[in-house]
Amino acid sequence: MPRAFTPKVITANALIEGDVIYLTANDDWTRDLARAEILTDEAHAELRLIEASQRHHEAVGVYLADVAKGDKGPEPTHFREDFRRTGPSNYAHGKQEERV
């Protein structure tokens, strides 16, 4: 029996800066995971992935990442995506720097 499709977001790195980015429902790229579009339908997710992958002048390495629905939007379910969301542990760089 195939595994049930779990919620996902589309993520990549920005072409110019390299920052971790996510696709919103409005077809914008955001640096904030909370603003990312949550994809709950597998066929729709595949279509959105194909569309996003064609935007190679904006994004690099587009893929679907697992998330869970949280109170404030999508939340990572794996520590790698959590680190991608926050930035490195050793300095307040990346996303943490922007928040400061």
**What mask, x for binding another protein by CB under 8 A, covers residues 41 to 70?**
---------------xx--xx---------
Q: What is the dihedral of CA 74, 79, 83, 88, to 10 degrees?
A: 160
Least distance (Å) between residue 76 CB and another protein:
10
Q: Is 17 in the site for another protein (CB under 8 A)?
A: yes
From 43, 58, 51, 63, select the one nearest 25 (Cα to Cα): 51
Q: Which stretch binds another protein (CB under 8 A): 2-10, 22-30, 36-44, 90-98?
A: 90-98
